[in-house]
Amino acid sequence: MSSIIQLLPDHVANQIAAGEVVQRPASVVKELLENAVDANATDIKLIIKDAGKALVQVIDNGKGMNVTDARLCFERHATSKIRLAEDLFSLSTKGFRGEALASIAAIAHVEMKTKQDQDELGTQIVIEGSKFVSQEVAVLPRGTSFAVKNLFFNIPARRNFLKSDTVEYRHIIDEFQRVALAHPNIYFTFYHNGSEMFNLPPTSLRQRIVNVFAGKTNEKLVPVQEETDIIIIQGFVGKPEFAKKSRGEQFFFVNDRFIKSGYLHHAVMAAYDGVLKDGAQPSYFLYLTVPPNTIDINIHPTKTEIKFDDEHALYAILRASIKHSLGQFNVAPVLDFDRDANLDTPYSYKDMKGATPTIQVDRSFNPFSDDKVNKHYAAPSSYSRKTEATANWESLYVGLKQDTDFDTEGGEMSFESETVTASLFNDEEVEQSVNIAYQIHKKYIVSPIKSGMVIVDQQRAHQRVLYEQFLVNMTVQQASSQQLLFPLDLYFSTVEIELIAELKQSLINTGFVFEDTHGDHVVISGIPVNVTESEVSIVLEQLLSDLQDGIPSSSFSQNDTIAKSMARSLAVKTGTALSVKEQENLVNGLFACKDPNVSPFQKPTFITMRVEDIDKKFAL
């Protein structure tokens, strides 16, 4: 009987490993950038074409490799970072993944050029799908260049699972930002389809954050600094007034490695307790330094999750450090926030000494005397003046003329009477038209109908009304716009600017008018008629938050997403008091919709109660 278990060929094993290592072009960017950092490079260039599907190239000026190392680096489980098993628990580099380059070479066309400083010539290797095509000697500068072309060319199924260029490009930017923020001492440049997207010279940590996210990032940052025996914390947190709906600007770095930690994120949110609006997310850039032997970074394939030895202590220290920084820079509220400034001591009285008050005692005063008022008691002079001024108050009204046109002593006043005309409606119709809607707990609107009554959720109903209005405007492309006297100048990060530029035409169809969109800001000169000037930034932030996972490829799906997001932002919220007219308009607007039964998010907008159901309640 033949054997069932067989060893896989190397190229098949490499393709299987690539499924775990290389999920998308951003995975290749992460591996190559981290290898360049570990090579002690001071200048790293990232070149992308077609969101990484056509080309991902990383050029560095690191220490390079000799001929033997250049060939061995594409073998499985080949590394320069690990010698013993114990080294896995004391890593000071970006980590070890032995099948990374071998997996990339198995699913793409790879061209590597490398040269060490002491060598006169370098090595150029070309690999296509794990097959060595050529290895030549070449004249090269110091460092290494990896060019990965035609990703997943031999696995069409994996290539078909890639998202649109916009989504893949955003993932690449995320990986680039994480590495660039972790190493402010390295010069990073990023090119996409021939255009320079980032140019980050070596700077301080604060300036690197400002250069990456642009806009008015500098004025948002509050420094955090703490040093203990088990952890060193440094970095910056954002001021509460600049908090956004999205969680884009939240970064944890442990020993210069980006990580994700819901536990530490909860510590940050606990420090902001009481100073953030509901649903708001603060920005933070926190760099934690801990002994390498107290963490385990190999619990996740992407190495973005870390297990700490003493998580509870780190939680308490991080929370206290952020809370201290917010209070130190007067960001968090102080205890005497209701203090009256009028009670403060004037500066002119700063060096003056207080005068000793004088006390006057009437030694002849007898509380048991028969006299009601002690004549020997000497009142203060101010009191005497006050009583003299008000003693004869009746004299103030002597000689006042009675210039009145009517008799105040029982005379009758006549008013011009109004002629009552006949009513346009009979009394029954008037009773039915008055107070047809009532608001309960500033959340529900109750309106009578022929069979009973209808109870409408005001927030969901308004979402449905706005959603259908925006869809019609974007489809017909005839939305009304109100021009602003002073254009709005809004600042966003580089990624957000790219999203707004792609959504620009759809936003114009809803009523927005853009004067300029470039750099790190957007100039808006017109807004939809049902949007106020103060709501513009809220609407755009909510839209960017809803599109974090990518923009839909089809135009209908894109319009649908924008309409839902804007309806969510602009709909009247629970807890808002509405006038009777507003309640009636909302109910009438809801039942004029094509689908009034559910909100844009498929939740019921109203329920009905028949008179028979109410009668049954009273019959119990």
Q: What is the three-state SS of 122-137?
A: EEEEEEECCEEEEEEE
Q: What is the pLDDT of residue 402?
A: 54
Residue type, 388: E
Confidence band of 439 (pLDDT split at 50, 70, 90): confident
Residue 335 has pLDDT above 60, yes or no: no
Q: What is the pLDDT of residue 80?
A: 59
Look at the chain and count its residues.
Answer: 620
Confidence band of 451 (pLDDT split at 50, 70, 90): confident
H or E element that contains 483:
strand 481-491
Residue 92 has pLDDT above 90, yes or no: no
Residues 6+ apart with CB under 8 A from 54: 149, 150
Q: For the chain, what is the mean pLDDT?
A: 79
Confidence band of 179 (pLDDT split at 50, 70, 90): very high
Task: Choose the weakest-confidence range: 191-200, 257-266, 474-483, 591-600.
Answer: 474-483
Residue 507: which of 457, 467, 551, 562 has the closest Cα? Answer: 562
Confidence band of 303 (pLDDT split at 50, 70, 90): low
Task: Quickly name the fold that domain 439-607 has.
Answer: Ribosomal Protein S8; Chain: A, domain 1 (3.30.1370)
Report which of residues 284 and 439 the model is more confident about: 284
Q: Report, at the CATH architecture level, how domain 208-328 is classified.
A: 2-Layer Sandwich (3.30)
Q: How many CA atoms lie within 13 A of 384 on its CB side?
A: 5
Report which of residues 609 and 396 the model is more confident about: 609
pLDDT digits (tens, 9 = 90+) for 386-434: 555 555 666 666 665 555 444 445 455 555 555 554 444 444 443 444 4
Task: Choose the weakest-confidence range: 44-58, 327-341, 346-360, 593-607.
Answer: 327-341
Confidence band of 345 (pLDDT split at 50, 70, 90): low
> Can you tell me the mean pLDDT for 38-46?
92
> Can you tell me the mean pLDDT for 583-606?
89
Look at the alpha carbons of 427, 428, 432, 435 in this order and tell me if their dihedral is positive or negative: positive
Task: Choose the weakest-confidence range: 139-143, 165-169, 582-586, 590-594.
Answer: 165-169
User: 87 φ, ψ to 5°?
Assistant: -65, -20
Of the segments 94-108, 502-516, 546-560, which one has the largest average pLDDT value?
A: 502-516
CA-derived radius of gyration, the chain: 37
H or E element that contains 457:
strand 452-457
DSSP annotation of 442: T
Confidence band of 57 (pLDDT split at 50, 70, 90): very high
> Can you tell me the mean pLDDT for 21-42?
88
Q: What is the pLDDT of residue 89?
A: 54
Q: What is the pLDDT of residue 432?
A: 45
> Can you tell me the mean pLDDT for 368-388?
53
Q: What is the pLDDT of residue 374?
A: 47
pTM over 0.85: no
Residue type, 139: V
Report which of residues 276 and 265 the model is more confident about: 265
Of the segments 173-177, 365-369, 389-393, which one has the largest average pLDDT value?
A: 173-177
Place of tokens 């604060």: 206
Would you call 271 helix, strand, or coil by DSSP? Answer: helix
Report which of residues 432 and 53 the model is more confident about: 53
Task: Choose the weakest-confidence range: 173-182, 250-259, 348-357, 545-554.
Answer: 545-554
Tokens representing residue 431 in the block? 């009773």
Residues 6+ apart with CB under 8 A from 378: 360, 362
User: Would you list the domain boundaries of the chain?
Assistant: 10-200, 208-328, 439-607
Count of C-beta atoms within a 10 Å radius of residue 333: 12
- Rounded CA-CA distance 469/566 in Å is 11
Q: What is the pLDDT of residue 201?
A: 93
Look at the alpha carbons of 267, 271, 276, 278 in this order and tell me if their dihedral is positive or negative: positive
Look at the alpha carbons of 93, 96, 102, 106 in this order and tell me if their dihedral is positive or negative: negative
Q: What is the pLDDT of residue 417?
A: 52
Q: Put the strands of the sheet holding 606-610 in their side by side order.
A: 438-440, 444-449, 452-457, 606-610
pLDDT digits (tens, 9 = 90+) for 508-557: 888 888 887 766 778 888 888 878 888 888 888 888 877 766 666 666 67
Q: What is the pLDDT of residue 96?
A: 46
Confidence band of 489 (pLDDT split at 50, 70, 90): confident
Look at the alpha carbons of 21, 26, 30, 32 in this order and tell me if their dihedral is positive or negative: positive
Q: What is the pLDDT of residue 430?
A: 36
Tokens representing residue 66 in the block? 């000799």
- Rounded CA-CA distance 476/492 in Å is 29
Residue 382 has pLDDT above 80, yes or no: no
Count of C-beta atoms within a 10 Å radius of residue 357: 5
Q: What is the pLDDT of residue 197?
A: 87
Task: Choose the weakest-confidence range: 155-159, 418-422, 455-459.
Answer: 418-422
Of the segments 192-206, 488-502, 550-564, which one has the largest average pLDDT value?
A: 192-206
Confidence band of 85 (pLDDT split at 50, 70, 90): low
Residue 108 has pLDDT above 80, yes or no: yes
Residue 239: which of 333, 336, 317, 174 has the closest Cα? Answer: 333
Domain 10-200: CATH superfamily, name plus number: Histidine kinase-like ATPase, C-terminal domain (3.30.565.10)
Buried b (16+ CB within 10 A) or exposed e, 368-389: eeeeeeeeeeeeeeeeeeeeee
> Can you tell me the mean pLDDT for 281-292?
89
Residue type, 384: S
> Can you tell me the mean pLDDT for 8-15?
68
Residue 287: which of 236, 229, 242 has the closest Cα? Answer: 236
Confidence band of 91 (pLDDT split at 50, 70, 90): low
What percent of the chain lies above the pLDDT cut of 70? 76
Tokens representing residue 52 in the block? 């990484």
Task: Choose the weakest-confidence range: 68-82, 204-218, 298-312, 573-587.
Answer: 298-312
Contact assessment for residue 523 and residue 514, using Cβ atoms and an 8 Å cutoff: yes
Q: What is the pLDDT of residue 164?
A: 79
Contact assessment for residue 108 and residue 151, using Cβ atoms and an 8 Å cutoff: yes
Residue 87 has pLDDT above 60, yes or no: no
